[in-house]
A and B are shown apart, each in its own frame.
Chain A
Amino acid sequence: MTPLTDRRNFLRTASMFGGALAIPAMPAMPAWARSGTHGLGSAIDVLTGNDIKLSIGHAPLRVGGRTSHAIAVNGTVPGPLIRLKEGQDVRISVTNTLAEDSSIHWHGLLLPFQYDGVPGVSFPGIKPGETFVYEFPIRQSGTYWYHSHSGLQEAMGHFGSMVIDPAGIDRVGFDREHVLVLSDWSAMHPHAILKKLKQNGGNFNFQKQTLGGLLTGKDQSAAERRMWGKMRMDPTDISDVTGAIYTYLVNGHGPDENWTGLFAPGERVRLRIVNAAAMTNFNVRLPGLAMTIVAADGNLVRPVETDEFQIGVAETYDVIVRPAEDRAYGFIAESIDRSGMVRATLAPRLGMVAPVPERRPRPLLTMKDMGMEMAGHDMAGMSHDMGSMKMPDPSVAPQVRMGPGVATLAAMPMDRTAERPTGLEDVPHRVLTYSQLRSLDPNPDPRNPSREIDIHLTANMERYMWSFDGVKFSEGAEPLAFRHNERVRVNLINDTMMPHPIHLHGHFFEVVMGEKGHRPVKHTVNVLPGGKVAFDLTADALGDWAFHCHMMLHMHAGMFRVVTVRADEDAA
């Protein structure tokens, strides 16, 4: 364990040796996000203290040699890193210079609901030209982030990271730390992206199965293709929006710009990884370097060593790496459909690069992703039965309102938390599964849930309709009601063939895996296709909160609810 002050001294020394502090790869990049950064300790424009000022405005963003229009916080994408300390009070003044309403939601923070930042749920939003002051105590520590909750502004660059240092010593010992904010950038306006998906469901998928593929023996057999075709299901439909229009970024840097974080060989380097992408789950690895996961969604977990993990949209992971050699290591984040990747570099000096691994072939979905595979059965033996199965069968989910928005129901949804996520089933190294995550601290509420609710994640990918229980929020969906301090088990059942990172505002919950007591404590849980995930929630934060899929376009299409937490006597 390295005390904080020692670390800072060390970094100060390191940056003197390093000469030039940072080489800006782009104009107006915050120092911590600049390529060649020595780490957070040496960054000069990290925002700290009790009084923080942010400004939301238009900004040009240069990616891959092209400049396009972004919505930025303090003029940069990502926005400034906000670094706070557990136990402090903070006052954040946010000025909206846009011609439209805006907002900032503090993702994963426990705070009074009126400062959670969701227009229409927690507050009225920030009108053009207005300054809104958020004021709340900091009750936690870890790696978090913030983003707009207005329209699709987040997809246009309106996000940034937050680091909260613990009140006492940091139980994660490290010599140096870097924040890596992953994102997906397209010059196409997110509303245009959504419109194209509504017009043509698989519009951005250029990795479909083809006749050419069939003739050369690729992908599914003809019989399997017929079976999937009969159900009008596409096994290549892994990401809605793909590398065909996205450039994937680390700290605002594309693969060519090669964001570089420095280290000295032998150091313990803490990487705080935030997935701020609008629509992209990533597979993350550093070839040649084992990663020890030490925190998930800001909360410490018992250290787990692994070689690759999948990070759902809106999740954060803290990992420790120990680069021993005097060489560069690639940081590879590959979109889960393998349509693109971004690499960044950890290196002892600027200008070094590590070999970039080839993009691996895109995976194919299976019957299991449809929630239709019974344990122990193999595909070949089942194909006949499945092809003749009536789908969807409403009796498996009586609470779901059937209609044009529900194309599939998982007949046999499985707990997939102990499985490797989509596309990583067969990679020849260790892969993190959710079930490996165990909270370092005991879970705070030992009570058994007093009740449980099921929530179905439902969709029709061809019409590009997304909902909970077959009902879009826009259709006047009722709030999900909780009593104050009630302990409830929430079962998420994914009836679609896509993973959904489901996020609850204002609370942490424990993902139900393994024995109780040290279950991982999260704010966002990625539910695999055809899978189910249960979480136990202590509804301890009074007020109204947003609950939604964090795939921005799924949320925008209707996969959204208001959660209410009221004292019993208030319940109508």
Chain B
Amino acid sequence: MKRFLSFLFVSCLVVAVCVGGVYAYDEVDVADGGSIMGHVIWKGGAVPKNDPVKVQKNQDVCGNEKPSEALIVGKDGGVKFAVGYIEKIEKGKKIVRGKSTLLTQKNCQFAPHVFTVIKGTDLDVLNSDPVLHNINTAIGGLQLFNKGQPNKDTTVTVRVRKLGQVDVTCDSHTHMKGYFSIFDHPYHATTDENGVFTIDNIPPGKYTVKVWHESWKVNGKDDDGRLIYDKPVELSQEVTVPAKGTAHVNFELK
């Protein structure tokens, strides 16, 4: 029996190492780290104006409609709420642990609308509204978690334990929509109002940098007046990160 158990233990270990080995991210001290500064720019001509989304309930708190957050273009053409990330990176800077990411629900809107988190860290979800929200999250239609939050000024903390691109919805308020991306490494960022994202302390070398955007192309409206968008946009580029330098990379949305 003992032999069997030790055999079981070893085989489990082997499996764990093999399975884990494929995607494992090694945390190391990075010497001479470089940066990537990405710029996501609107090149699609006149910026399309998407209709606001109708609020179906709790209008006293939420208002009657919410502006579409699908495409937010700054004055120089920079696109807010795109996610820039290194596609596969096996080793690099240490992951900051013990620090959680905050997602708020205020005036019946998720904020930030788009953000990134690291697998194994915590997500704090705050309800600042005096109405029932439920944070229903899914990766490709498969639920990640669904937490009821009926009371104002309460926080729910969830440990993120899967990788993927997450849709955030609220079943109580069908107009609410948010997104976050979960990575197993720390090299990712969301663009600011100028369309800029910065990733730093990267071991020098060649990388594939990708940009994700939720899409602004409207394919129709559903029964609740929500806009149905096209598939998210994904762009990709090869980048060489110099030691102690910055690689600039532009992505065009059109």
A and B associate: no
What is B's interface to A at a CB cutoff of 8 Å?
Answer: none
